[in-house]
Structures are given as structure tokens and as C-alpha cells.
Amino acid sequence: MMSEGQGGEEKQKQQGGVNIVLSPLPEGVEPGKVQVKVIEQFNNPLLQRKEVKAMVYHVGLPTPQRLQLREELAKALGSSPELTYVAHVYTQYGIGVSRVEAHVYFDKNTAELVEPLYVKLRNMPKDQAKKIMDEIRSKRKAAKKPAAKGGG
């Protein structure tokens, strides 16, 4: 049973005779909304990008898809979604919090050169990524030559 508490107080939950203390949500985080808090930014001049670590709060919701994370991060950082790539998403089970690592490039050409193909594919709509993968597979198939027949 949960005890009634004021907005910022910790709540206690009794489970099997043991009191469990549930920590309150960070200030400004509302259940049912996806909110991004940037934790760390590192400017990497060699790769012409910002490397960003952020906490994404999605209490009461499933883990957001990369496309949504990309939009939310770009909005939080004041950049374009086309220059933002979500590299990793680490979700903590059951509490609606994910840690995200992303790269924000200064220009599109650098992003195309530096970011690996698998990350680019993960950060685009599924139908578009499938189309690109089908093209790559057909090129690989065409490049394979039939085995030479032994005529000894």
C-alpha cells in the first residue's frame, strides 16, 4: 500500500512486510511524457561533432523509438534531427528511464563519412532502411561470380 505524500517527498511501498522507499521523480519530470535532460556534452573537433550523454524520462511509457529520441534530442540541443544520430540506448527496467548516447554533427557531409552504416540505418524509418539494405544485398549478389567449372 502506498502512503499519500506531497509532490517532492519520497513514497513508501510495503511489499511482503518490507518497506521499500521509492525515490521521487526529478524536478520537472511528468509521468506520461518523454523528457530529455542532457547530462554531458563533449565537443570532438577531430570528428566535427558533439558527443552527448542524456537521460530520457518516459515514466509510464515504453522506451521511445530512436526516431523519436532523435527528434527530442535535437530539440533539446537546438540542432537539426538530420545531424543527430542516436548511438546507444540503455533502458533501466521498470522505472521509465533510459540513458542515451548520441552524436550531433556540425554538417551532413561529415556525418555521412564518419557515422557507421548500421547506426545510420538504425536512425532512419524502417521502410527506408529496408530499401537501402535490399539495394546492398542485390549489389552483393550481382558481384558474386559463379564458381568456375573444373574442366581438367
Q: What percent of the chain has pLDDT over 70?
A: 78
Dist. CA 144–CA 78, nearest whole Å = 46
In the predicted structure, residue 83 carries a pLDDT above the cut 80: yes
Task: State residue 31 phi and psi, 5-degree precision.
Answer: -65, 145
CB 1 within 8 A of CB 17: no
pLDDT digits (tens, 9 = 90+) for 10-66: 455 555 556 554 556 777 777 878 889 999 999 999 999 999 999 999 988 899 999
Phi-psi region of 85 (alpha: psi -120 to 50; beta: other; left: phi over 0): beta
Indicate yes or no: pTM above 0.95: no
Mean pLDDT value of segment 123-148: 87
**Cell matching residue 111:** 556525418
pLDDT reported for residue 5: 44
In the beta sheet, which residues pair with residue 19? 14
Residue type, 50: K
